Amino acid sequence: MLNNSLPDVAPVKAVDGLVGWGRGSSIWPMTFGIACCAIEMMAVYAATFDLDRFGAGVPRATPRQSDLIIVPGTVNAKMAVRVRRLYDQMAEPRYVIAMGACVCGGGPYVKWGYNTVKGVHKVIPVDIFVPGCPPRPEALMDGILKLKEKISREAVFARRGKTAREMEGRYAQAPAAAPGRGAGA
Amino acid sequence: MFLSYHAVLVFLITGIVMVCTPMVLGALFRPKNPYPAKSMPYECAEDPVGGAQVRFDMRFYAAALIFIVFDVEIAFMFPWAFVFSTYPDRTLAMLEGVFFLLVLGLGLVYVWAKGDVDWVKGFNRRRRVQG
């Protein structure tokens, strides 16, 4: 109701900072794994690395309850449509972490992978790229912390930057179709 | 007279405030941006097929309950088997395990006798009557 509608003055900034701190410290990721990177992602959730230290350790089983979708693994043309729809069905504000070389830009399939989408940013707007094949759990944790920083800097009430709707206008209008085969080859 | 119920009033007001505050706060904080793909029912990213108010066969319910019998049985058998070798009185442990299995087996016998194991309930009994 009041999103990005108040003037960008000190008290509003203070409230924004408080809300951003709350949002960044209680990220709810979605239970979502595609390929081998998902194994590393599970390790991050589990006891050794314990993502719950950063408040992001409880993956939700439905996009309606999630703020964050970690896309871990190769996104092929068929899956890209599903990833797009899962992202669509998440509650706003929503964030995307692209995990692994395939999702960041095609990875080993960049030349000959005829059905691989060369980077999930072609389908959904990505906030944080975590490269690696697969990335170490520490790398994903670093990505989550970077996302936390990004969330805490975001304007919630203040009229600053672009609204969520403007930011993803390009994506919201586009049909949920995967790029054609051979793109980027 | 009603003064003695002031605690109820306080609880009532507290309850209403505790429910309304997060809803109002949420309405202030959250972005509102519905569009068709977002409002679509969640079906694991697939296109929803058919209506939500379909008839569901009640026999699956019986099958699920029978499954629970065995599911719980196995879940309890694992810790029992794990501590079995370290238990001081193995005969007692064995008897307790067997008793547990018997009780659950009795459940299966009951279900069998009631005809819930048959997919078409009472079909065999009716055939016996006819033949």
Query: Is A5 part of a structural domain of the chain?
Result: no
pLDDT tens-place string over residues B27-55: 887 787 888 888 888 888 888 888 878 88
pLDDT tens-place string over residues B56-96: 788 788 888 888 888 888 898 999 998 888 888 889 999 99
Query: Is A28 part of a structural domain of the chain?
Result: yes
What per-residue confidence (pLDDT) applies to B56? 79
pLDDT tens-place string over residues A118-164: 989 889 989 999 999 999 999 999 999 999 999 888 888 877 666 55
Name the DSSP letter for residue A179.
P
List, in order, residues 6 or more apart from A63 with CB less than 8 Å away.
A30, A69, A86, A87, A89, A90, A91, B42
Candidates B38, B43, B44, partner chain A, best to mutate (most A CBs within 10 A): B38
Query: Is A2 part of a structural domain of the chain?
Result: no
The residue among A70 and A178 whose pLDDT is bigger is: A70
What per-residue confidence (pLDDT) applies to A185? 36
List, in order, residues 6 or more apart from A49 with CB less than 8 Å away.
A43, A137, A138, A141
Q: Which residues of B74-84 are buried (b: 16+ CB within 10 A; e: fewer)?
A: eeeeeeeeeee
Q: What percent of chain A has pLDDT over 90?
A: 48
Q: How many domains does chain A have?
A: 1
Q: Could you tell me if B46 lies within 8 Å of chain A, comparing CB atoms?
A: yes
Residue A174 in this model has a pLDDT that exceeds 60? no
List, in order, residues 6 or more apart from A28 with CB less than 8 Å away.
A56, A58, A59, A60, A65, A66, A67, A68
ipTM entry? 0.71
Query: Is A3 part of a structural domain of the chain?
Result: no
Closest partner residue to B42 (CB to CB) among A64, A92, A163 is A64
Query: Is A135 part of a structural domain of the chain?
Result: yes
CATH code where residue A30 lies: 3.40.50.12280
A111-116: average pLDDT:
90
pLDDT-based confidence at B98, cuts 50/70/90? Answer: very high
Residue A2 in this model has a pLDDT that exceeds 90? no
What per-residue confidence (pLDDT) applies to B22? 93
Q: Could you tell me if B45 lies within 8 Å of chain A, comparing CB atoms?
A: yes
DSSP states of B81-96 as a string? HHHHTT-S-HHHHHHH
Question: For A16, which residue in chain B has the nearest alpha carbon?
Answer: B29
State chain A's maximal CA–CA distance in angstroms.
Answer: 54
Please report, for residues A113, A124, B12, B131, the alpha-carbon distance to residue A140 in angstroms, rounded to integers and kept in the order given. Answer: 25, 19, 46, 70
Query: Is A183 part of a structural domain of the chain?
Result: no
What per-residue confidence (pLDDT) applies to B130? 53
A74-90: average pLDDT:
91
Query: Is A179 part of a structural domain of the chain?
Result: no
In angstroms, the separation between the Cα of residue B53 and the nearest Cα of chain A is 21
Strands across the sheet with A95-99, in order?
A68-72, A95-99, A128-130
Of the candidates A99, A105, A101, which has an alpha carbon nearest to the alpha carbon of residue A127? A99
Q: What percent of chain A has pLDDT over 70?
A: 85
Q: Could you tell me if B35 lies within 8 Å of chain A, comparing CB atoms?
A: yes
Candidates B25, B30, B43, B47, partner chain A, best to mutate (most A CBs within 10 A): B30
* Residue owning tokens 């719980």: B72
What per-residue confidence (pLDDT) applies to B4? 81
Question: For A85, which residue in chain B has the nearest alpha carbon?
Answer: B45
Determine the 3-state secondary structure of A9 from DSSP.
coil
What per-residue confidence (pLDDT) applies to B1? 66
Residue A178 in this model has a pLDDT that exceeds 70? no
What per-residue confidence (pLDDT) applies to A179? 46
The residue among B37 and A165 whose pLDDT is bigger is: B37
pLDDT tens-place string over residues A7-33: 778 888 898 889 889 999 999 999 999
d(CA B52, CA B49): 9
Residue range of the domain that includes A110: 10-173
Determine the 3-state secondary structure of A97 from DSSP.
strand
